[in-house]
Amino acid sequence: MISWGDRWVVTAPPGRIRHRDHELVTHTVCETCGERVHGEDVHREDLVPGWDQSGPVTTP
């Protein structure tokens, strides 16, 4: 979330997170399979009938 804000919300990052003597760079790993997760590899699954990403689905 910080990297998104640094890229899209402000012209210069207001700060940074450090780990020991270097900037912290993180990534997400799937706990089930152990693979590194990339945005193009994930999708949303709607579990509530009658809803989608926008909210309630209206039927004509």
- What is the structure's pLDDT at 55? 79
Is residue 28 within 8 A of residue 37, CB to CB? The reply is yes
List pLDDT tens digits, range 17-37: 899 999 888 899 999 999 999
Domain positions in the chain: 15-41
Phi/psi at 51 (nearest 5 deg)?
-125, 150
Task: State if pTM tops 0.75.
Answer: no
- At 10, the pLDDT band (50, 70, 90 cuts) reads low
Write out the DSSP string of 1-60: -HHHHHHHT-SS-S---EETTEE-----B-TTT-PBP-GGG------STTEETTEEPP--
